[in-house]
């Protein structure tokens, strides 16, 4: 089969063997796959990953190895973290597979990803996709779930003033997730055209230079840049909360004095549960405007070039029909 792989920082479209599902796993034919900033950073060296890229997908179960036969032919999305599920593992036993120290992560850590004609995942990781949800919408479940994770980590109040910093793909999806909170939302970015996609439901938008001295109870940093932390920190009020979403290969020195002096809480936020995101998309959360371009798998290298262009939105790979 064809697969998009990275080896020693080099991105290639390769012919690789069809994967064999282990007991309890499904073989999934990929329909759509999304390119995100994490994929771009992995090519630059983030996470030290080699193999097939990709963790945003929708596909169809073709085969099940020692699992429930009823899954065959079902269109699915899949949770990307694979816990060890060994007896006695306190993390998997508590339903926290995402933090199991022996976990693998689809297309990021120790597990070939979804930018291929087929992939394998444990049945326990799969969720069926409603029949009326288009493939190009269902492929957004994983990144939208990352936005909903913030709502599980923070109990936002109607009096909270929340700023989303960054008007890229992730920032705009966080925008859609946080609309389900009662907080007052402000979206801050650098691109007027993209900020138009952030408006709605009473959300205020500001260019970065317009923030001035304003401070927020919560700032969600989703800039996709190593310098975003410092920018976001300047926007948090004393005893406020800074939520970090960016993962990048680059690093910069940080002065944490303000974190200590202003007693700011710094909260890391990564993957989220798929159920809330899948339900929200099924109920009409709009993501079509975030799709910039679609490419067949054979043109994956062109797709990565477009996705890596400054200011680009979501680029999708059309793997099969």
Say whether pLDDT at 67 is over 80: no
Quick one: average pLDDT of 184-191?
Answer: 96
**pLDDT tens per residue, range 84-129:** 999 999 999 999 999 999 999 999 999 999 999 999 999 999 999 9
Quote the number of domains for the chain.
2
Based on the domain organization, do 105 and 62 belong to the same domain? yes
Residue 282 located in a structural domain: no
Q: What is the chain's mean pLDDT, rounded?
A: 95
With cut-offs at 50, 70 and 90, classify the pLDDT of residue 255. confident
**pLDDT tens per residue, range 261-270:** 999 999 999 9
Residue 40 belongs to domain with CATH number: 3.90.180.10
Based on the domain organization, do 151 and 134 belong to the same domain? no
Cα torsion 79, 83, 89, 91: sign: negative
Instruction: Give the pLDDT confidence score for residue 183 in this predicted structure.
Output: 97
With cut-offs at 50, 70 and 90, classify the pLDDT of residue 201. confident
Based on the domain organization, do 202 and 291 belong to the same domain? no
Say whether pLDDT at 306 is over 80: yes
Based on the domain organization, do 55 and 164 belong to the same domain? no
Residue 39 located in a structural domain: yes
Return the closest-CA partner of residue 4 out of 95, 97, 115: 115
Return the closest-CA partner of residue 244 out of 257, 256, 228, 259: 228
Residue 197 belongs to domain with CATH number: 3.40.50.720
Residue 6 located in a structural domain: yes
Return the closest-CA partner of residue 83 out of 106, 109, 61, 101: 101
Which runs of consecutive H residues, i.e. helices, occur in 183-273?
192-195, 228-233, 257-261
Residue 273 located in a structural domain: no
pTM equals 0.94
Residue 194 located in a structural domain: yes
Instruction: Give the pLDDT confidence score for residue 250 in this predicted structure.
Output: 82
Based on the domain organization, do 68 and 158 belong to the same domain? no
Instruction: Give the pLDDT confidence score for residue 68 in this predicted structure.
Output: 80
**pLDDT tens per residue, range 3-51:** 999 999 899 999 999 999 999 999 999 999 999 999 999 999 999 999 9
Residue 275 located in a structural domain: no
Based on the domain organization, do 298 and 250 belong to the same domain? no
Quick one: average pLDDT of 215-223?
Answer: 97
Based on the domain organization, do 15 and 104 belong to the same domain? yes
Instruction: Give the pLDDT confidence score for residue 200 in this predicted structure.
Output: 84
Residue 53 located in a structural domain: yes
Residue 303 located in a structural domain: yes
Instruction: Give the pLDDT confidence score for residue 257 in this predicted structure.
Output: 93
Instruction: Give the pLDDT confidence score for residue 216 in this predicted structure.
Output: 98
Based on the domain organization, do 134 and 7 belong to the same domain? yes
Instruction: Give the pLDDT confidence score for residue 321 in this predicted structure.
Output: 74
Based on the domain organization, do 16 and 44 belong to the same domain? yes
Based on the domain organization, do 31 and 95 belong to the same domain? yes
Rounded alpha-carbon distances, angstroms, from residue 176 to 126, 164, 172, 260, 284: 23, 11, 7, 32, 11
Inter-residue contact 267 to 153 (CB < 8 Å): yes
Based on the domain organization, do 41 and 70 belong to the same domain? yes
Residue keyed to tokens 């990929």: 30
Based on the domain organization, do 257 and 150 belong to the same domain? yes
> Domain span at residue 130?
2-140+287-318
What are φ and ψ of residue 243, in 5° steps?
Answer: -100, 125
Produce one character per residue of 266-279: b if its CB has 16 or more CB atoms within 10 Å, e if not: eeebebbebebbbe
**pLDDT tens per residue, range 132-187:** 999 999 999 999 999 999 999 999 999 999 999 999 999 999 999 999 999 999 99
């Amino acid at each position: 089969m064809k697969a998009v792989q990275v080896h020693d920082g080099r991105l290639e479209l390769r012919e690789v063997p069809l994967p064999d599902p282990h007991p309890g796993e499904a073989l999934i034919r990929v329909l759509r796959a999304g390119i995100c900033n994490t994929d771009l950073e992995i090519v630059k060296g983030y996470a030290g990953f080699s193999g097939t890229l990709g963790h945003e997908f929708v596909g169809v179960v073709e085969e099940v190895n020692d699992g429930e036969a009823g899954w065959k032919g079902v269109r699915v999305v899949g949770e990307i973290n694979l816990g060890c599920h060994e007896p006695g593992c306190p993390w998997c036993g508590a339903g926290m597979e995402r933090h199991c120290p022996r976990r693998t992560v689809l297309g990021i850590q120790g597990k070939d990803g979804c930018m291929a004609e087929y992939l394998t995942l444990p049945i326990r990781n799969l969720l069926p996709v409603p029949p009326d949800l288009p493939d190009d919408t269902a492929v957004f479940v994983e990144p939208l779930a990352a936005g909903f994770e913030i709502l599980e980590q923070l109990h936002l109040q109607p009096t909270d003033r929340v700023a989303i910093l960054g008007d890229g793909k992730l920032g705009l999806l966080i925008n859609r997730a946080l609309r389900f909170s009662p907080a007052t939302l402000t979206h801050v970015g650098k691109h007027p055209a993209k900020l138009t996609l952030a408006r709605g439901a009473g959300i205020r938008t500001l260019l970065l230079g317009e923030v001035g001295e304003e401070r927020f109870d919560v700032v969600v940093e989703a800039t996709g840049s190593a310098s975003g932390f410092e920018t976001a920190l300047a926007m948090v009020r004393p005893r406020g909360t800074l939520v970090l979403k960016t993962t990048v290969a680059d690093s910069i020195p940080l002065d944490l004095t303000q974190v200590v002096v202003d007693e700011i809480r710094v909260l890391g936020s990564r993957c989220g549960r798929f159920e809330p995101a899948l339900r929200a998309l099924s109920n009409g959360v709009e993501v079509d405007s975030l799709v910039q371009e679609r490419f067949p798998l054979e043109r994956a290298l062109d797709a990565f070039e477009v996705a890596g262009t400054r200011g680009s939105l979501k680029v999708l790979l059309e793997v099969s029909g």
